[in-house]
Structure 1
């Protein structure tokens, strides 16, 4: 696993554009299986999971033209899928779970193993996905395997989800887009990447109402057409570059067309003293006061809460924590999405950070820390690597982030972009 060597205390300055959203491009790729016509995507991020999907599609006879430099990808699938489509499923990619609905619709049968250690799809709850497919008429054979059969085009269904799961909402969209009639999902996820999938399906011929809300109504069609769609910019990356620029003492401008997604995100980072200026098509971090905005209720600790969209995203909580280590005041971080997702905070103590993990969901970072460079170890979580980097880049001296490789799964040319802004950072393979 690769490590990052970070020489902190150097201001970052300049302008850059974010990459396409990793969490949008992968379900959009899965949606291409719903048509035999050509689909073209632009603003495609060069991430490792993309390469694995391309390899899978080519292995089942799909025509894939990927221009890495132009960030465009065109794909045309064969008229009929064979058993190879099941046998070659890239099950070790977590996002491969979104292939289930398209393959079941196209092939009529789906089968994979679930052993005593859990699903081959990785640590991800598959029950909501299987439940959705069964609700739409898929029959599940008894046994130790997931063995589903779908006889013909499914009828529309109404589902009230137990919780707003992004990938389960995407599974619903993918099967409802070709169901007979109008399907409704209540308690749907509404993240920007879910909205991107909705817009793509509309471009392909489905009719979807309620995009961006918690209630989606999908009128399916018998045949979906090809489409030309743009993968939206990654709001996580926009916020990440702004945070890195701010804590470094520099001035960084991010050019993007998703400023309408950013107000709450910028407000929460502003609580930590980061200062921003917005202009048409761009946002700039102009400074960092290190002051934490106090609540008007004097008895309360300032806090940043992460929950499903349109709340502050849980995937940006590590970045906010990384900023907070250099603040003058105390801050509580509350992850309402993932249990135990802040256990990595123990690594912050190596930087000299005083913090307290109150329970599996809440972390308090105390202010006025005496920071020092350190060697820290990242878990296999993309955003945690970035959170540790934000801490390291504001500290004079050399730090090392062990096991930093996962950042490549979401942020193409990440280190190259930071180096262009003036960072002294490199890979240690």
Structure 2
């Protein structure tokens, strides 16, 4: 079995065990093995024979492998509980995605340390494996080793996996250096309305890439004689647009100037990784990047992606709405300053524990904070995202559940996406008063008298987690159905919240 398959089967076994309300020790006793062996199985670190799978299926009274492809995973949440304790912010989903795509630039071995083991990463590794890239989770770790073949086999690409993520669009920049002509399946991912790919194509035309979209594919042709003759001005200060331009510039043996670049956290991580590849980049953290590319990258490199400010905001929001005191460690403060300042203006209090320190990448600034429970009031002005260093676009939805907790009326303006604001109205099932003003704006009246409910998970990552947070605040038993979209961006979020005192159980309808 591949490491990725073992990981997914292990997760399924863990979910089935919890559904049967068994401990690891109890399952171990039924299998006549040790608790540590069950732990390795559930972590995807134990090879499994068909005989072992059959014994596990019998012990759990479920067909382990068959269920995996047929029934969605749900959450049962007993809400209204206080949280307490300490929790680390894990490494960034979006940085992981950028770094995985960057590995396509390197002919040598790339090792990503402490990578987020999430579904989005699984989808990308499936695509990489299908085109000949060897990926291997190193034993007893979350370190991913990536080794490319001499030539990628794009004809063998796993299109099912590719269509489940918009990340496939970020293959354009790396692949234009390797092929004169190629095609990629149309991208998928979160359902957030029409998001044009034109800014990507505009940026990459400077490197000779021409793309036509038809019949479910991006058909790409590359004129290798075309190279940037003037600064590239991005028509959108987007994170992935900037990353695609960086991929293209990294293997251009000359200087590329990129204006209106995103200076956001995942772009900075990508720049730091490219520098390890030997690419010099001036202006990291600003909107103008000067990239001094190289003809070839062929070296063994390891890189540590930094911590996730979106997960940090998730944990802060969980503390606020459950009125809890928790210590959140490894918060990337540079990318949380606006959010915390807004919350302070609403009345939130928190302590900074100890001194600032740096992430394992040697660059990103981290702090530990302890939240203090207390009432909040609605802000006087609307809350809206802006490109970094403004409020992060992905952190805006968390202010919906916070506003539902606060006293007064709050307006959120989500100008980036057509559909995401609509999904926030699902909080109404939990007792919130969220009024959709137009496809981009909601008005939220607080405080909320939370109540338990059963809700189908929205098809967008952050709104789905917002519903989960509302359920943590709501007394009684709530059910959130089909949480695949949450697993795309968070690693074991339910387990980690349970360690803080939440009561979240996974189950499948079987």
**TM-score, structure 2 normalization:** 0.76
* 2-structure distance, mates of 1:233, 1:422: 23
Which of 119, 128, 133 is the equivalent residue of 1:57? 128
* 2-structure distance, mates of 1:414, 1:287: 22
Report which stretch shifted further, 242-251 or 381-390: 242-251
SS across alignment from 2:253:
coil
| TM-superposed deviation, 1:141 | 7.3
- Whether 1:289 aligns to 2:363 is no
| TM-superposed deviation, 1:244 | 0.9
* Mapping for residues 22-171 of structure 1, pairs under 5 Å: 22-67=93-138, 69-84=140-155, 90-112=162-184, 119-121=186-188, 124-139=195-210, 146-152=218-224, 155-157=227-229, 158-171=231-244
* 1-structure distance, mates of 2:75, 2:90: 21
- Whether 1:21 aligns to 2:92 is yes
Q: How many residues align?
A: 418
- Contact 1:251 1:284 survives alignment (8 Å): no
Paired position in structure 2 for 1:297: none
- Contact 2:452 2:474 survives alignment (8 Å): yes
In structure 2, relative to structure 1, the CA distance for the partners of 1:106 and 1:85 (3 Å cut) is farther
- Contact 2:461 2:485 survives alignment (8 Å): yes
* 2-structure distance, mates of 1:428, 1:11: 23
| TM-superposed deviation, 1:204 | 0.4
In structure 2, relative to structure 1, the CA distance for the partners of 1:319 and 1:120 (3 Å cut) is closer
In structure 2, relative to structure 1, the CA distance for the partners of 1:290 and 1:404 (3 Å cut) is farther
* Mapping for residues 30-429 of structure 1, pairs under 5 Å: 30-67=101-138, 69-84=140-155, 90-112=162-184, 119-121=186-188, 124-139=195-210, 146-152=218-224, 155-157=227-229, 158-226=231-299, 227-256=301-330, 258-279=332-353, 280=355, 281-292=366-377, 294=379, 301-429=380-508
* 1-structure distance, mates of 2:344, 2:404: 14
Paired position in structure 2 for 1:11: 82
* 1-structure distance, mates of 2:410, 2:368: 25
- Contact 1:12 1:251 survives alignment (8 Å): yes
- Contact 1:153 1:178 survives alignment (8 Å): no
* 2-structure distance, mates of 1:342, 1:141: 31
| TM-superposed deviation, 1:65 | 2.2
* 1-structure distance, mates of 2:180, 2:157: 11
| TM-superposed deviation, 1:289 | 2.3
SS across alignment from 2:291:
strand
* 2-structure distance, mates of 1:293, 1:352: 18
* 1-structure distance, mates of 2:340, 2:115: 25
Paired position in structure 1 for 2:43: none
SS across alignment from 1:45:
coil
Report which stretch shifted further, 370-379 or 416-425: 370-379
* 2-structure distance, mates of 1:62, 1:31: 13
* 2-structure distance, mates of 1:285, 1:338: 32
| TM-superposed deviation, 1:87 | 7.4
In structure 2, relative to structure 1, the CA distance for the partners of 1:427 and 1:315 (3 Å cut) is same
| TM-superposed deviation, 1:164 | 0.9
- What CA deviation, in whole Å up to 9, does each residue of 1:229-280 have, x standing for no partner? 1111111111211221232222211221622322212122334443211123
| TM-superposed deviation, 1:191 | 1.1
SS across alignment from 1:315:
helix
In structure 2, relative to structure 1, the CA distance for the partners of 1:152 and 1:421 (3 Å cut) is same
* 2-structure distance, mates of 1:245, 1:136: 47
Report which stretch shifted further, 97-106 or 248-257: 248-257
| TM-superposed deviation, 1:401 | 2.0
* 1-structure distance, mates of 2:331, 2:80: 31
> Is there any run of 5+ residues in structure 1 with no aligned partner, and where?
114-118, 295-300
- Contact 2:182 2:221 survives alignment (8 Å): yes
SS across alignment from 2:396:
helix
- What CA deviation, in whole Å up to 9, does each residue of 1:199-246 have, x standing for no partner? 111110111111111112212110124321111111111121122123
SS across alignment from 1:105:
coil
